[in-house]
Amino acid sequence: MRNLLSIEDLSAQEIVDLLDLAQSFETVQQRDVPKVPALRGKTIVLAFFEDSTRTRTSFDLAARRLSADLVNFSAGSSALKKGESLRDTIETIDAMGINAIVIRHASSGVPRQITRWTNASVINAGDGWHQHPTQALLDAYTIRKRIGSLAGKRIVISGDIKHSRVARSNVQAFAKLGAMITLVAPKTLLPPTLNGWPVTVSANLDEALEGSDVMYLLRIQHERMGQSLLPSLREYRTKYGLTTERANRLGSDCVIMHPGPMNRGVEIDPEVVDDPRVAVLEQVAAGVSVRMAVLFKTLGPGQFDRSEESDPVDRADSRSASEGGQT
């Protein structure tokens, strides 16, 4: 795998392979020294042009745990402030000899665009409303870990679908893995067309949540709303929020998810956040293992090959031993 730009580019088998690889890397993180030398000598640039806590930190940790060299590019203190173009910025970074750029940008399509300006691998860490592929992978990983294969599972995604790159990439990933997806949102927070989306749509959360295996709540994205699309946040909570009363009607094994950051009291009641069915912090933890898998798959020597019988983590370790590396 050269780049990771969109879930659209992955087959179901490639998604499963990445989740299996992430599982191997989860075991690495349970060691006393949670590190392998698989990407020793590789240089990864984190270029976040939009704010992030989870994605940026977990890519940073993932790169360090694979022993890569890491550069945190800060757009706010770069020559972009002097008017340098994005293209010149990327070509300048590329000229320094890097192996991968992990990029988050407010404009859809920027990660694919920059593949024309760099020979490095490009990994999409979220672009506009378009895609957030590693979020979809870590969410699929979390669901699989909690309740097994996604095939045939009933997943409800509720909230601001229109502005959500998480919704777009998660729908594609969950559908490829065989899940049945229902979107719940007010009309103003749905895209103008859902042609080609493998989903059913409902405006009634109370009906949709009956018998669901996963209740996935999306964030109300105040920063992407050009105009008021909701009468009030209070009304939103009443119709679309996971209130304590609604949570009580979910099954005991239902997985309650949110990509973060949560608007407590809007998408989810504060009392519900502590419910053991809520997997938000498991999602965050899965982010490190999944991003290790994505970096290894794009940059690892002899990338993961399912035809090889040994575990990829063992191979990464033995390769290091033969190179005299340290873990």
**DSSP alpha helices (H): ranges in the chain?**
12-29, 54-65, 86-95, 110-114, 133-147, 165-176, 205-208, 233-240, 244-249, 270-273, 280-299, 312-322
Size of the site for ligand CP (CB under 6 A): 8
* 3-class SS of residue 254: coil
Among residues 54 and 319, whose Cβ is nearest to ligand CP?
A: 54
Among 13, 53, 200, 326, the residue binding ligand CP under the rule CB under 6 A is: 53
Given candidates 55, 99, 263, 298, which one binds ligand CP under the rule CB under 6 A? 55
Residues 91-130 that bind ligand CP (CB under 6 A): 126
Contact 44, 71 (CB under 8 A): yes
* Interface characters, 131-170, with ligand CP (x: CB under 6 A): ----x-----------------------------------
Q: How far is CA 67 from CA 43, 113, 209, 304, in A?
A: 10, 28, 43, 17
Return the residues of window 256-275 that contact ligand CP according to CB under 6 A: 259-260
- Is 54 a binding residue for ligand CP by CB under 6 A? The answer is yes
Q: Are strands 180-184 and 199-202 parallel, antiparallel or unpaired?
A: parallel
Q: Which stretch binds ligand CP (CB under 6 A): 46-54, 72-80, 198-206, 208-216?
A: 46-54
Site stretch for ligand CP (CB under 6 A), options 38-46, 47-55, 95-103, 303-311: 47-55
Cα separations in angstroms, 114 against 98, 189, 223: 14, 30, 25
List interacting residues with ligand CP (CB under 6 A). 52-55, 126, 135, 259-260
